[in-house]
Homo-oligomer: A and B are copies of this chain.
Amino acid sequence: MARITSEDDFLALLDSHFPRTGQGIVLPRGDDAAIIACPAQLCVTTDLFVEDVHFRRRYFTPGQIGAKALAVNVSDVAAMGAIPAGFVLGLVCPDDADRDYWDALLAGMAALAIRHNVPLVGGDLSKGEKIAVSVTVWGAPGPSGRLLTRATGAAGDVLVAVGHLGLARVGLAVLEKDGSAAAADWPAAVAAHLAPVPRLEAGLALAALPGVTSCMDVSDGLARDLPRLLPPGCGADLFFPPAALHPEVTAHAAGHGRPPEKVAFFGGEDYALLATVAPAALPALRAALPEASPIGRVTTKPGFTLNGAPINERGFDHFG
């Protein structure tokens, strides 16, 4: 097993995957700090990706770990309707991950970074007992100049989703049960959990439509995230007709005697975009973004209904 022999060796491994120069980089990584050229505003977000909390080495390839650690951050930039402009990386490295493992992990991350033209401008390494990846990414407004926020919609707005709700949660369930073999029966669900796709083009399209009033990415499940999106004091009526759900969500729910719309409501890590749009702007939104699905409407009174019935349960909490 090839070991990482020194910090310089690790930094050389980083350099082999991530170009040091890129758009907006005035001084690349390698100094006390990097220097970046900035537009008038940037959005900034940070997310941790920790072994046995967010992922397991048992069924994630190292490349999937690297890609997802970056993707979940880029998804937050997408939810702002912004263009990712750069990122920094903190890596905690246990002794039992060798040089080939890190090479593959960084290759997976770099493929996503290069696809979206996001330069790595800094990083730090530490020993530790489990793999942990800390990513901070920043983004610039797109051509519309607008950044999308939460809680800025209005009662009467239509709720639209871009992405399959509940699918990644099914993927987690079958991976925990059957490991990588689950991919044979649940290919879409497993892919949704292992390799979520940040919806940057959709975010930019939403930001470009003036009738879109708010946006977020659904990472903790609708049940927890929807209250964060809605304007203060408002609630929502949600509709998930069976045809709107992914067949693997419907099949998994049926196999466990659960209503599939509840799987969609509580499912986490979808990294779907959820937006509110003024009803008059819905045709323009559907034209610009055919993959957006209306899933409900913002109501003046708090609380949720799901396919017509009130629903009061809460979703997942790290500390609950």
Q: Assess the B318–A125 pair: CB atoms within 8 A.
A: yes
Tell me, yes or no, whether A114 is within 8 Å of chain B by CB: no
By beta carbon, the residue of chain B nearest A125 is B318
Which of A33, A93, A122, A123 has the largest count of B CB atoms less than 10 A from its CB?
A: A33
For A132, the chain B residues whose CB sits under 8 A away are 92, 126, 128, 132
* Chain B proximity of A12: nearest CB distance (Å): 12
Chain A interface residue count: which class? 35 or more
| Distance in angstroms between the alpha carbons of A41 and B35 in the assembled complex | 7
Cα A317 to Cα B253 with chains together (Å): 51
Residues of B within 8 A of A257 (CB): none
- A17-33: contact bitstring with B at CB < 8 Å (1 yes, 0 no)? 00000000011001111
Measured CB to CB, the closest approach of chain B to A269, in angstroms, equals 13
Question: Is A34 close to B, CB under 8 A?
Answer: yes
Are A31's CB and B124's CB within 8 A? no
* Contacting residues of chain A (4-48) with chain B, CB-CB under 8 angstroms: 4-10, 26-27, 30-48
Q: Are A33 and B44 in contact (CB under 8 A)?
A: yes
- How many angstroms from the CA of A125 to the CA of B89 in the assembled complex? 16
Q: Which of B7, B42, B53, B82 is the one whose CB lies under 8 Å from A317? A: B7
Given the complex of chains A and B, what is the CA–CA distance between A54 and B86 in angstroms?
27
Among A72-80, A170-178, A189-197, the stretch that binds chain B is A72-80
- Are the CB atoms of A46 and B92 closer together than 8 Å? no
What 12 new A-B contacts, CB under 8 Å, besides A33-B139, A35-B43, A44-B122? Answer: A27-B43, A32-B43, A33-B44, A34-B45, A46-B89, A46-B136, A48-B125, A50-B128, A53-B127, A88-B136, A127-B318, A129-B130
- In the complex, the answer to whether B46 meets A122 with C-beta atoms within 8 Å is yes
Q: Smallest CB-CB separation from A76: which chain B residue? A: B32
Complex Cα distance, B309 from A319, in Å, reads: 57
Q: How many whole Å from A85's CB to the nearest CB in chain B?
A: 11
A7 / chain B contacts, CB cutoff of 8 Å:
317-320
Interface residues of A (CB under 8 A from B): 3-10, 26-27, 30-48, 50, 53-54, 76-77, 79-80, 82, 86, 88-90, 92-93, 121-130, 132, 134, 136, 138-139, 147, 149-150, 215-217, 317-320
CA distance A313 to B26 in the complex (A): 34
When distances are taken between beta carbons in the complex, the residues of chain B under 8 Å from A89 are 46
From the candidates B10, B32, B45, B134, name the one contacting A45 in the complex (CB within 8 A): B32
Q: Once the chains bind, are B82 and A33 in contact (CB under 8 Å)?
A: yes
Asked whether A319 and B5 contact (CB < 8 A) given A32-B79, A217-B32, the answer is: yes
Collect the chain B residues with CB atoms within 8 Å of residue A130's CB. 128-129
Name the distance in Å between A123's Cβ and chain B's nearest Cβ: 7
In the complex, chain B residues whose CB is within 8 Å of the CB of A126: 48, 50, 53-54, 132, 318
A217 to B31, CA, bound (A): 10
Task: Select the residue from A4, A32, A126 with max chain B CB neighbours within 10 A.
Answer: A32
Q: Which of B128, B149, B318 contacts A27 (CB 8 A)?
A: B149
Instruction: Specify which chain B residues have a CB less than 8 angstroms from the CB of A31 in the assembled complex.
Output: 80, 149-150, 216
